[in-house]
Homo-oligomer: A and B are copies of this chain.
Amino acid sequence: MKYAIGVDFGTESGRAVLVDVATGAELANAVHEFANGVIDRHLPAPDEDVRLEPDWALQDPDDYIETFRATIPAVLAQTGVDPADVIGVGIDFTACTMVPTTAEGTPLCRLPEFRRNPHSWVKLWKHHAAQPEADRINSVAASRGEDWLPRYGGKISSEWFYSKSLQILDEAPDVYRAADRLIEAADWVIWQLTGVETRNACTAGYKAIWSKSDGFPEGSFFAELNPGFKSVVDDKMSRSIASLGSAAGGLTAEAASWTGLRPGTPVAVANVDAHVSVPAVGVVDPGTLVAVMGTSTCHLALGRELALAEGMCGVVEDGIVPGLFGFEAGQSAVGDIFAWFTKRAVPPDVHEAARAAGSSVHEVLERDAARLRPGESGLLALDWWNGNRSILVDVDLSGLLIGATLATEPAEIYRALLEATAFGTRTIIESLEAAGVGIDRVVACGGLPERNELLMQLSADITGRSFEVAASTQAPALGSAMHAAVAVGAAGGGYDTIQDATAAMVRPSVRTYEPNSSTKAVYDALYAEYRTLHDYFGRGANDVMKTLRRMRTAS
């Protein structure tokens, strides 16, 4: 028996899963909550007096190391697996989550002279304070007509690599200067495990505007953002990009001592949590959309050719599966909308009913909403409570509910919100298809699919595609373990390709929601109304949402 370990770094915690390489069976898993979690108000002790501005979100890189120390020994202990039988380790991370380090990989926040400067810490994916830098990147790129801009839906996010890096240069030039490296945390943890600095193709492509054919943006572009930023790639990054599923190196003696694994155990190059889920749910070919559904939803698909679908987060050759173009799209709030509704807009009697039934408010709402027929609520919503990522790429859009009457009930609004997110998904599918990226079915993973039957059925009905629920509830960690198995190859007890690993290690979806043809006409009609509102409010005919946001800020 051979085993691989996948480690999935999330927002609040890291998780290791020990997987049987032959079958993909997940034999054990262990979670480590980050001691410093999301750092968004002030630096950790003893520097609590250093307060953070709004929209900041940092992490402590030591929490990542501690994750290895806590979780890998735990899964070994749970299973009694002999470390000699662990053929490899893979990891995946949130992205872009990045950190400035020395040439040796020491995060600047570990150095006493920088520890009290927030810019020396890890900037977490949801650090949103680099919006001015993102705006500058977008305006300069647009004015220069940069070729790469359309590959990113015409807009680079404040969450991404150069926005965050440029913010360091803008606001803490000393930190920027001292940083020999600016690096994704994904790649940094691999560096810590192996002593080898690598840069994975996925984060390079989706977060740092790298492409296999054109490399990174030109120095003249960076110079236009800030003369000091001209050589960011050459000075702080690497031009050598590692393929997904390749080996980064072997565990150092130190890392072996953290984990209880043997020194030299192979380690794969890093992955991104959403993207690594694609093979983990069995998808290595074009034609299937993978929906990672949680607080927000990430959509991933594969294609044989470059296509510029409207409003993608990015399209990257080899970015998900080597040999194919990987498309990423996103809905910036899904589960978050339902959670907002449940917490801020559901009256006491529904909470009471949930308590009486021993269920959650979500369950009560879902039960009542499931009894409604399509169209019966008379409501329609735009799912823009947190802006619209795909296909409008506009953070300033906001939520809309139309059709309310004095008889409108909470379960009706809840259903309208579920439907709205499914309409949003349909919009993304149609954008991909219009660009030639066919989508025949959807495989869903993440936190929502398992628990939200109505959402799954409505998604199938509204998109006209079957929605499968992936077998693994730990798809990212499984995907990381699969990449570890590929990194060692068949010769090392693993697999030569991600396709082979997928064939062997991924179990069939556990449930399929087929679109209900009897609701098609009603949902097509509702979707037509959704699209009319989507275009009216989202494409400039009526900019009231932006006006309201501006007024909110001004007030």
Contacts and interface: CB of A to CB of B under 8 A. Distances in A.
Contact of A344 (B401, B409, B542, B548): B409
Contact of A555 (B348, B380, B413, B522): B522
A343 interface: yes
Interface string A510-534: 0000000000001001100100110
A378 B344 contact: no
A547 interface: yes
A336 interface: yes
A346 interface: yes
A548 B403 CA distance: 7
Nearest to A408: B344
Interface stretch (A91-99, A252-260, A368-376): A368-376
A333 interface: yes
B347 A406 contact: no
Given A400-B402, A404-B385, A545-B402, A343 B347 contact: yes
Contacts of A400: 400-404
Contact of A399 (B375, B386, B405): B405
A554 B343 contact: no
A526 B545 contact: no
A544 B536 CA distance: 12
A345 interface: yes
A474 interface: no
A544 B402 contact: yes
Contacts of A344: 347, 408-410
Given A402-B544, A404-B401, A548-B529, A345 B345 contact: yes
Contacts of A347: 343-348, 351
Nearest to A379: B548
Nearest to A541: B536
A552 interface: yes
A398 interface: yes
Contacts of A529: 544, 547-548
Contact of A378 (B373, B410, B526, B551): B551
Contact of A380 (B345, B413, B544): B544
B542 A526 contact: no
Contacts of A526: 551
A375 B346 CA distance: 24
Contact of A522 (B405, B533, B551): B551
A539 to B, nearest CB: 14
Interface in A361-407: 373-380, 385-386, 398-406
Interface residues of A, number: 52
Contact of A405 (B386, B403, B408, B410): B386
Interface string A394-433: 0000111111111011100100000000000000000000
Given A344-B410, A378-B398, A402-B400, A525 B551 contact: yes
A294 to B, nearest CB: 14
Nearest to A400: B402
A177 interface: no
A542 to B, nearest CB: 6
B401 A385 contact: no
A549 interface: yes
A141 interface: no
Contacts of A346: 345, 347
Contacts of A374: 555
Interface in A482-532: 522, 525-526, 529, 532
A261 interface: no
Contacts of A402: 398-400, 537, 544-545, 548
A57 interface: no
Contacts of A551: 375, 378, 522, 525-526
Contacts of A17: none
A164 to B, nearest CB: 22
Nearest to A537: B402
Contact of A533 (B375, B378, B544): B544
A414 to B, nearest CB: 11
A137 interface: no
A337 interface: yes
Among all A-B residue pairs, the 3 with the closest Cβ atoms: A399-B404, A378-B552, A375-B551
Given A536-B536, A536-B542, 9 more contacts: A347-B351, A348-B348, A376-B555, A378-B549, A385-B405, A386-B405, A400-B401, A400-B402, A525-B547
26 contacts: A333-B406, A336-B406, A340-B406, A345-B345, A348-B351, A373-B555, A375-B555, A376-B552, A378-B398, A398-B403, A399-B401, A401-B401, A401-B404, A402-B545, A402-B548, A403-B544, A403-B549, A403-B552, A522-B551, A525-B547, A529-B544, A529-B548, A532-B542, A533-B542, A533-B544, A536-B536
